[in-house]
C-alpha cells in the first residue's frame, strides 16, 4: 500500500526543477510500473503509464517538475548569480533555504545597496541584485562545486503536522498530485477500466505547460482530467476571492487561468464522487494555468476538467495539504477514470 507521506518524501528528495526532471521521472516510472500495462518516457521526458481499455481515451496529467534556481554566473567574489525556474517571489527567495543538485546548501541574499534603496518588497524583484551563497570562501572554492547551468531546489522537507493529518511540504505543487495519480493506479489494480487511460507525469509545467503539449500531441486524447493543486483560502496568507479549505475533499475543476472545464466532464467526475461517497469541493481557480490548457490547445479539441488538491501557500517551501484530501483525490481519479465516459 502506498503511503502519502512516504511517497511525497521520496519524490521531493528526488525532484529537480523544470527541464531537469530525469531523477523523478525514473522514480515515477518505477513506482507506476507494477500497476500499469505499459510505461514509456517520451523525448521531452514525460512519463506515460497506460491502463488499456476500449472506451474514451483519457489523459490524466500531473506535472512532476518543480520550482528552483538556475545558476547563470559565478562572480569574481565567488558569489553566484541566478535566475529562477518558475514563479518564485522575492518574499520566498530571500527567506528560503536552497539545496543544489550536488547536496550543497545555499541561501539567497540581497546586495547591501539594494537593501538600502528598496522601499517595498516589490523592489527586490530584480534578481540581478540578489546572489546565492553556498558558504563562499572565494571564487576558486565556489567553482569546485557550482558552475553556470546548475540548479538548486528548496532545501525543506515534507513534515507531518497536527498528528499526521496535515502535510507541510516543498513541492506539493505538483508532486502531491503525482502521488494521487499513483494512488489512483493502485486503486485500479484489480479493476478493468471502461476507458482507455493514459496517466501522464509531465515535464516543464512551471515554465509554461510545455511538456503536456507534447504529450497531448502523441497521445491524442479525447478527454483530459488534470491533477494539480488549487488555492486553499482558509489561512491568513490567502485573500483570494474564491477557493477552498483543507480536509474538505479534493476539488473538481470548474476552470483555471487557462482552461474552462466542460460540463460533461465535470458532471462525470461529480457522479463518480457521489457514487463512491467521496467528499468533494469545486475548484474555480482564477489565477494560474495548468496542463489542461496545453492539452486543450495541442491538437483537436480535448474536453477537460480535473481533480485538484486544495493547498495553502502554493509556491512556498512549505505548501500545506490534507492527507485525507490526497487519498480521496486518488480514489476520485480512479473512480472517474474507471467509470464509462460517453461523449
Partner 1 sequence: MTDIFELHGRLVETAGISGIEQRTAKLIQELAAPLVDEIWTDTPGNVITHIRGEGKKILICAHMDVVGFVVRGVDEKGFVWLSRVGGVFHQFCWNRLLRFENGAIGTLRPVMGENREFTTKKVSDIGEDDYFCDLGASSREEALAMVSVGEGAVWVADRQLTEDGVIISPYFDDLGGCAVLLKLLEDLKESGNTGGNDIYIVFTVREEIGVIGALVAGNQIVPDYGIAVDVTTAWDSPSNRPKYEGYTKIGGGPALAVRDALLIADRRFNELLARAADENGIPYQRGFAKGGTDASSFQGVGSGVAVTNVSIPQRYLHTAEEMSSLHDAEQVAALLKAFLAKPLS
Segment contacting partner 1 (CB under 8 A): 23-31, 84-92, 211-219, 264-272?
A: 84-92
Q: Which three cell numbers stand for residue 28?
A: 515515477
Q: Please give the Cα distance from 119 to 43 (Å, whole number).
A: 46
Angle at 300 between CA 294 and CA 304, to 5 degrees: 55
Find the binding residues for partner 1 in span 164-223 (CB under 8 A): 165-166, 168
Q: 126: which 3 cell numbers? A: 530584480
Among 42, 55, 101, 155, contact with partner 1 (rule: CB under 8 A): 155
Q: Quick check: 256 binds partner 1 (CB under 8 A)?
A: no
Query: Which residue among 59, 175, 320, 329 contacts partner 1 (CB under 8 A)?
Result: 320
Residue whose CB is less far from partner 1, 58 or 166: 166
The answer to whether 144 contacts partner 1 (rule: CB under 8 A) is yes
How far apart, in whole angstroms, are the C-alpha atoms of residue 265 and residue 341?
8
Reading the block at residue 42, the C-alpha cell is 517520451
* 179, β-bridge pairs: none
Strands 68-74 and 80-85: antiparallel
Q: Tell me how far, at minimum, the Cβ of 90 lies from partner 1, in Å.
A: 8
Q: Which of 23, 50, 57, 109 is the binder for partner 1 (CB under 8 A)?
A: 109
Select which of 205, 206, 274, 319 is catalytic.
Answer: 205
Q: How many residues bind partner 1 (CB under 8 A)?
A: 59
Closest CA to 60 of 173, 171, 185: 185
Task: Check binding of 13 to partner 1 (CB under 8 A).
Answer: no
Please state, in angstroms and rounded to a whole number, the distance separating the CA atoms of residues 132 and 18: 19
Measured CA to CA, the distance from residue 216 to residue 294 in angstroms comes to 8
Give the integer Cα–Cα distance in Å for 147 and 78: 11
* Residue (86 or 221) nearer to partner 1, CB: 86
Reply yes or no: is the peptide bond before residue 174 cis, omega within 30 of 0: yes
Q: Of the two residues 56 and 281, which places its CB atom closer to partner 1 in the complex?
A: 281
Annotated active-site residue 122? The verdict is no
Supply 57's cell numbers. 481515451
Binding site for partner 1 (CB under 8 A): 77, 79, 87, 89, 91-92, 94-97, 104-105, 107, 109-112, 115, 118-123, 131, 133-137, 141, 144-145, 155-157, 159, 161-162, 165-166, 168, 234-239, 246-247, 287, 312-318, 320
Task: List active site positions.
Answer: 205
Amino acid at each position: 500500500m502506498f503511503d502519502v507521506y512516504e511517497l511525497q518524501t521520496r519524490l521531493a528528495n528526488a525532484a529537480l526543477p523544470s527541464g531537469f526532471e530525469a531523477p523523478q521521472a525514473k522514480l515515477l516510472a518505477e513506482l507506476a510500473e507494477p500497476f500499469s500495462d505499459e510505461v514509456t518516457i517520451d523525448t521531452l521526458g514525460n512519463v506515460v503509464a497506460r491502463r488499456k481499455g476500449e472506451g474514451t481515451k483519457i489523459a490524466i496529467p500531473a506535472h512532476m517538475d518543480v520550482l528552483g534556481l538556475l545558476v547563470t554566473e559565478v562572480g569574481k567574489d565567488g558569489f553566484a548569480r541566478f535566475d529562477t525556474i518558475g514563479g518564485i517571489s522575492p518574499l520566498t527567495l530571500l527567506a528560503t533555504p536552497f539545496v543544489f543538485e550536488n547536496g550543497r546548501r545555499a541561501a539567497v541574499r540581497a546586495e547591501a545597496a539594494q537593501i538600502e534603496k528598496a522601499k517595498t518588497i516589490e523592489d527586490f524583484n530584480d534578481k540581478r541584485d540578489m546572489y546565492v551563497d553556498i558558504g563562499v570562501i572565494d571564487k576558486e572554492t565556489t567553482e569546485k562545486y557550482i558552475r553556470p547551468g546548475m540548479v538548486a531546489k528548496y532545501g525543506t522537507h515534507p513534515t507531518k503536522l497536527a498528528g499526521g493529518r496535515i502535510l507541510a511540504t516543498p513541492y506539493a505543487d505538483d508532486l502531491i498530485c503525482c502521488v494521487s495519480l499513483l494512488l489512483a493506479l493502485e486503486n485500479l489494480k484489480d479493476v478493468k477500466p471502461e476507458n482507455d487511460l493514459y496517466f501522464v507525469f509531465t515535464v516543464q509545467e512551471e515554465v509554461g505547460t510545455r511538456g503536456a503539449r507534447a504529450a497531448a500531441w502523441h497521445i491524442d486524447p479525447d478527454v483530459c482530467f488534470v491533477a494539480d493543486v488549487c488555492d486553499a483560502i482558509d489561512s491568513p496568507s490567502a485573500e483570494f476571492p474564491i477557493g477552498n479549505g483543507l480536509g474538505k475533499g479534493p476539488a473538481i475543476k470548474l476552470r483555471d487561468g487557462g482552461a474552462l472545464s466542460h460540463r460533461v466532464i465535470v458532471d462525470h467526475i461529480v457522479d463518480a464522487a457521489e457514487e463512491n461517497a467521496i467528499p468533494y469541493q469545486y475548484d474555480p481557480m482564477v489565477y494560474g494555468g495548468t496542463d489542461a490548457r496545453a492539452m486543450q490547445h495541442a491538437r483537436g479539441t480535448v474536453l477537460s476538467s480535473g481533480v485538484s488538491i486544495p493547498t495553502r501557500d502554493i509556491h512556498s517551501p512549505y505548501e500545506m495539504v490534507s492527507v485525507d484530501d490526497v487519498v480521496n483525490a486518488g480514489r476520485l481519479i480512479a473512480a472517474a477514470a474507471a467509470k464509462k465516459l460517453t461523449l
